[in-house]
Amino acid sequence: MTGPARIALRQPGPLLATGIVLLCAIGFGLTPFFARGLAEAGLSSGAIAFYRYAFSLAVLAPFLPVARGKRREGLVALGAGAAMGLGWIGYLEAVKVAPVAAAGTIYMSYPLFAILLAWPLAGQRPGGRALAAGLLVLAGAALALSPPGLDAAQVRALLLSLSAPLTFGLGIVVLCTRLPNLAVLEKMSALLAGSVLALAPLLATQPVAAVLPADAGTWLLVAGVAGLTAFLPQLLYTYAAPLVGPARAAAAGSLELPTMLAIGWLQFGEPIGPLQIAATLLLVLAILLAPAIALQGGSGGAPPG
């Protein structure tokens, strides 16, 4: 008698894995489309962020690190996730009022913050490549804030949106250097739990209309921001990125920013001029140049978005 049949899935090669990472970057880059649509439907930024993280947590909750030997690192991840969830509100507020290209360029400056925070938090002093990448990020951010026509409210929203790359950079450092005993899905679930726990109290202070979608179309946008820009690309990125290595993963992941620019142009009629193109190129170069944060035990990196 033969044993039970087994289905063996062949691991994709580098070319296919790179294609998967490219698709993930496009998914992450679609966020402004759903975020602005939900904002126009009356949902608050806190509610949009909550829905984006809550669906992924509902799926990954069984992987929460609750075992005795993992609780301390789980709490560290919870704290980082809480900061990331609250910080992302700044990006959502910027997308509401500022050009998507400008908000996206500011958001994609997270490699600079990861490099800077890795020094005090993980003892990884930035070298020449890191400093050069940081200068490119600063130049790109300056261009993003300089297009003609931005009013004071838009500039203020863009400056406040720095909370998103700052806290995402923090999350990268914690994920890569402070959680050596957690598996990839345990790290992801703990970070998501922190975001949801931090955002949930905000919903209690807001009117029902700003929290609950009013019609089926708005619920579809919620499903899009939760599934197409968060859960699916994060899961696929976690699977495919290790197969291509950090350098190629960063290169493919940089497609997120051009996707944001395309959304702003095609969906919202925002022009793409020389400044936007230059800022995008500077950010992409910075992402390619920035060295990877050294992992300290365990596996797993931080997906973009």
Of 14, 13, 22, give the one whose Cα is nearest residue 252: 22
- Report CA torsion sign: 291, 170, 252, 101: negative
- In this structure, are residues 27 and 229 in contact, taking their beta carbons and an 8 Å threshold? yes
Alpha carbon 129 to chain centroid, angstroms: 23
Q: Which residues contact 156 (CB under 8 A, 6 or more apart)?
A: none
User: Token pair 């809550």 is at which residue?
Assistant: 54
Q: How far is CA 82 from CA 47, 58, 215, 228, 300, in A?
A: 15, 16, 29, 22, 20
Q: What is the pTM of this model?
A: 0.87
Distance, CA of 80 to CA of 76 (rounded, Å): 6
Tokens of 213: 């979608």
250-302 residue pLDDT tens: 778 888 889 998 999 999 999 888 888 898 899 888 888 888 776 665 444 45
pLDDT averaged over every residue in the chain:
88
What is the DSSP secondary structure assignment for residue 63, as one 8-state letter? G
- Report CA torsion sign: 10, 13, 16, 20: positive
Q: Where are the alpha helices (DSSP H) in 67-127?
A: 71-97, 100-107, 110-122
- In this structure, are residues 100 and 258 in contact, taking their beta carbons and an 8 Å threshold? no
Phi, psi of 254 (to 5 degrees): -70, -10
Distance, CA of 140 to CA of 288 (rounded, Å): 14
Alpha carbon 305 to chain centroid, angstroms: 2
238-263 residue pLDDT tens: 788 778 776 677 778 888 889 998 99
Q: Assign 99 a pLDDT band (cuts: 50, 70, 90).
A: very high
Tokens of 293: 């944060």
4-33 residue pLDDT tens: 444 445 677 888 988 998 999 999 999 999
Mean pLDDT value of segment 110-130: 88
* Residue length of the chain: 305
Determine the pLDDT at residue 296.
60
